[in-house]
Chain A
Amino acid sequence: MLWDALTLQLGYNATLVAIGATLLGISAGVTGTFLFLRKRALVSDAISHATLPGVCLAFMALVAFGGDGRNLIGLLVGSAISAWVGLLCMNWLTRHTRLAEDAAIGAVLSVFFGFGVVLLTVIQTMGVGRQAGLEGFLLGSTAGMLWADALVIAIGGAATLLLVMIIRRPMTMVAFDPEYAAARGLPVHRIDLAMMGLVMAVTVVGLKIVGLILIVALLIIPPVTARFWTERSDRVVLLAGISGGLSGFLGAGISASAPNLPTGPIIVLVSFGSFALSLLFAPVRGVLAAVLRHLRFQRRVHIRQGLLALAQGQKIYEPLTIRLLRRAGIVRADGVATDEGKARAAKALRDEKRWEFVRADQAHEATAALYDGLRDIETVLTRDQIAEIDRRIGGPQEVMP
């Protein structure tokens, strides 16, 4: 079943949802990256909750003018307007009052959402009967998705993606160093507004599939996931797009493969799965890598300290050090250094002297920055450089008795 879903062979609706969710995932991941880099990830939560009153008011207006209350474009326009109002409120609160951004987010989020829920209740008592479906905007509902709906998502997502790519450079500059950006004459405030406007566009586009409560996950989790794998912002953007797109696709596929699996929440869970895997297994920033790195580092520190102690004839008390030295064949079971151990100890002491020279010499700055007290000097310097250093610090040091 899942295979059928993933190869888009599960019927018309499932295919539409899968394509829509993939496009949404890509544009949300890419757009959300800039929010994440600017350290304003939670703004998206306020924006998304602020869409609800707009959805309800648009429904009421559509019905009042005798239209179809479920017209997707009408509802999305309404949601965009109220999200924009929420955004401006938040912006005003942070800029012109002493409220910090987190407080402004909390205020806007709860008030707009509360107002939206009141309107939802009012609509339910209106007895129009056609309101069925508005609650779907809370968590997304893909069951009755139409070709036109998918088209709206595709066009909206693509347009957002295009705009993000156009202003990615100024957004990155503002995220890294807003004061420098301002000094260069970039309109920092307007760039921030544009960024949040794009987030709003993604939110509105995603209402149908993941709903307003969970869209924040699609904006934030992919960049956070991507950040585990790279140290370059352009690659964070790329990987977040890929991760978001895959989550959308897989999530839609899984939810279509069995009855009664909600699309939006499944997409979020898949996205979380990739986050969890990255958190654990990413090569540099992952938790496992960090633990292994720490253990390896600890082991090397102990051996190095042991070698230096041997070279200087000091007694070693630390049990872990003795154990490691013995296992490495540096000392015998009775604690006396082996021939190999003596040679390595002398080398360690010599390297320490060479490092001392390298670190004091401005010409070797880039090398000196690599000093960790552990590295063999020949891994960072050429034979000629070492010979030169040896010439300047004098003859080899003997291992002390």
Chain B
Amino acid sequence: MLELATVQGVSIEGQDIDRCPLAIRGLTVSYGQKPAVFSVDMTVQPGAMTAIIGPNGAGKSTLLKAALGIVSPLSGQVTVFGQPLEDQRARIAYVPQRASVDWDFPTRVIDVVLMGLSRQLGLLGRVRARHMARAMDCLNRVGMREFADRQIGQLSGGQQQRVFLARALAQDADLYLLDEPFAGVDAATEKAIIAVLKSLKEAGKTVVVVHHDLATVVDYFDHVFLINTRKVAEGSVEQAFTAETLQAAYGGRLATAQIDQILRALG
């Protein structure tokens, strides 16, 4: 597996690492004595859409959280645009899993999106017309403008996910990290989200998505990162999303027929 990683991995070590939106080296994260992520290197390509793929419990979300400093790693380094994470926070937008918050929290859709502007607002700054306009614009981009005044608990799962995306858009970041944005959402939401992500890519932003639906990888993404606690493979979809790498990442969990079916889409 490690061999695979080195063969298929795209190394831009030494070449311009400053342009690399997210570079992870030797990252190990552990809850208790069993590592969830072990000695992982990851190099995210600028201006691309990358899917992080792997079976349940493979450490996909943990990798993302460690990259953001939400969980502290046992070892390893994370650099963002060639600099330490702390200096580049303003350039990263994170979309957590929908289930990670209590949707009965007393807040409206617009208030959640305004949280994306917390840096501009500061501690005591008033919410002004331009902040409001920006938040409404972000809601509009995810098709949720008319929901601005609703209590968040009244939203469907897909709408909640789009509100989270709108909050990330409000940050106007350069690197977007999304944790399972398509999990349990309706088809309309999936279309809306992917349209927004593609527009971000066209604007030169970098998008990294923890993704679970192998059937849509080829349609949605340029790059893949396969993980099962250790890195399995990394590279362009053509290079790294193959029967061999999938078998290596999922082991016996995917039937050969399933893999064939998925890869037929690749041609």
Minimum CB–CB distance from B182 to chain A (whole Å) comes to: 17
Q: Which of A131-182 touch B at CB < 8 Å?
A: 166-167, 169-170, 172-173, 175-177, 179-180, 182
Number of A-B contacts (CB under 8 A): 77
Encode A167-206 as 1/0 by CB contact (under 8 A) with B. Answer: 1011011011101101111000000000000000000000
Give the Cβ gap from A72 to chain B, nearest Cβ, in Å.
32
Q: Which of B46-54, B115-123, B213-221 contacts A (4 or more CB under 8 A)?
A: B115-123
Tell me the smallest distance from the CB of A343 to a CB of chain B, in Å.
32
Q: Is the CB of B107 within 8 A of A176?
A: yes
- With beta carbons under 8 angstroms apart, the residue of A39, A169, A176, A183 that contacts B94 is A183
Which one of B11-19, B62-70, B233-241, B255-263 is at the A interface?
Answer: B62-70
Write the nearest CB–CB distance from A227 to chain B, whole angstroms: 6
Flag whether B133 is at the interface (Cβ < 8 A).
no
Pick the contact of A185: B65, B86, B96, B146 (CB < 8 A).
Answer: B86
Asked if A182 and B106 make an inter-chain contact with CB atoms under 8 angstroms apart, the answer reads: no
Residues of A210-257 contacting chain B, CB below 8 A: 227, 230-233, 235-236
Q: A235 to chain B: which residues have CB within 8 Å? A: 106
Q: Give the shortest distance, in Å, between B33 (CB) and chain A (any CB).
A: 13
> Are A176 and B115 in touch, CB under 8 angstroms?
yes
Cβ of B203 within 8 Å of any chain A Cβ, yes or no, is no
A175 CA / B108 CA spacing, docked (Å): 15
Q: Do A179 and B70 touch (CB < 8 A)? A: yes
Interface residues as binary, B72-91 with A (CB distance below 8 Å gives 1, 0 otherwise)? 00000000000000100100
Cβ contact of A166, chosen from B94, B124, B156, B188, cutoff 8 A? B124
Question: CA of A210 to CA of B68 in the docked complex: distance in angstroms?
Answer: 44
Q: Is B111 an interface residue (CB 8 A)?
A: yes
Distance (whole angstroms) from the CB of A39 to the closest CB of chain B: 8
Residues of B contacting A: mostly: mixed
Partner of A231, one of B70, B107, B121: B107
Hey, which chain B residues are within 8 Å of A184, CB to CB?
A: 89, 94, 118-119
Chain B residues contacting A185 (CB-CB under 8 Å) are 86, 89
Inter-subunit contact A233/B70 (CB<8 Å) = no
Q: Closest CB of chain B to A322's CB: distance in Å?
A: 34
A382 within 8 A of B: no
Given A173-B115, A365-B188, verify A179-B147 contact (CB < 8 Å).
Answer: no
Q: Determine the chain A residues whose CB is within 8 A of the CB of B124 once the complex forms.
A: 166
Cβ–Cβ < 8 Å partners of B106 in chain A: 37, 227, 230-233, 235-236
B26 is an interface residue with CB less than 8 A from chain A: no
Is A175 within 8 A of B147, CB to CB? no
Question: Are A180's CB and B94's CB within 8 A?
Answer: yes
Chain A residues closer than 8 Å to B119, beta-carbon distance: 184
* Docked-complex contact B92 and A37, CB < 8 angstroms: no
Contact among B65, B105, B159 for A37, CB-based, below 8 A: B105
Distance of A369 Cα from B144 Cα, bound (Å): 12
Partner of B68, one of A177, A183, A369: A183
B111 x A233 contact (CB < 8 A): yes
> Range of interface residues on chain A?
20 to 34
Q: Which of B86, B118, B143 contacts A169 (CB 8 A)?
A: B118
User: In whole angstroms, what is the CA distance A37 to B100 when docked?
Assistant: 15
Determine if A177 and B118 form an interchain contact, defined as CB atoms under 8 angstroms apart.
Answer: no
Is the CB–CB distance between A182 and B115 below 8 Å?
Answer: no
Q: If the complex has contacts A176-B115, A362-B188, are A169 and B108 also in contact, measured as CB distance less than 8 A?
A: no
- In chain B, positions 97-117 with a C-beta closer than 8 Å to chain A are 100-102, 105-108, 111-112, 115
Contacts A169-B118, A176-B115; A231 near B156 (Cβ below 8 A) = no
Q: Is B151 an interface residue (CB 8 A)?
A: yes
Whole-angstrom distance from the CB of A106 to the nearest CB of chain B? 23
CB atoms of B100 and A177 under 8 A apart: yes
B147 to chain A: closest residue by CB: A366
Contact with B along A346-375 (1 / 0, CB 8 A): 000000000000000010011001000000
Bound-state CA distance A172–B101 (Å) is 13
Chain A: minimal CB distance from B154 (Å): 8
- Interchain CB contact under 8 A, B107 and A232: yes
Cα(A141)–Cα(B101), bound, Å: 42
Q: Which of A39, A175, A182, A230 contacts B69 (CB 8 A)?
A: A182
Q: Which residue of B lies closest to A186 (CB)?
A: B118
Across the interface, which residues of B come within 8 angstroms of A170, CB to CB?
A: 118, 123
Q: Give the interface of A toward B (CB within 8 A).
A: 37, 39, 166-167, 169-170, 172-173, 175-177, 179-180, 182-185, 227, 230-233, 235-236, 362, 365-366, 369
Q: List 5 A-B contacts (CB under 8 A).
A: A170-B123, A176-B105, A227-B106, A233-B106, A236-B106
Interface residues of B (CB under 8 A from A): 65, 68-70, 86, 89, 92, 94, 96, 100-102, 105-108, 111-112, 115, 118-119, 121, 123-124, 143, 146-147, 151, 154-156, 159, 167, 177, 188
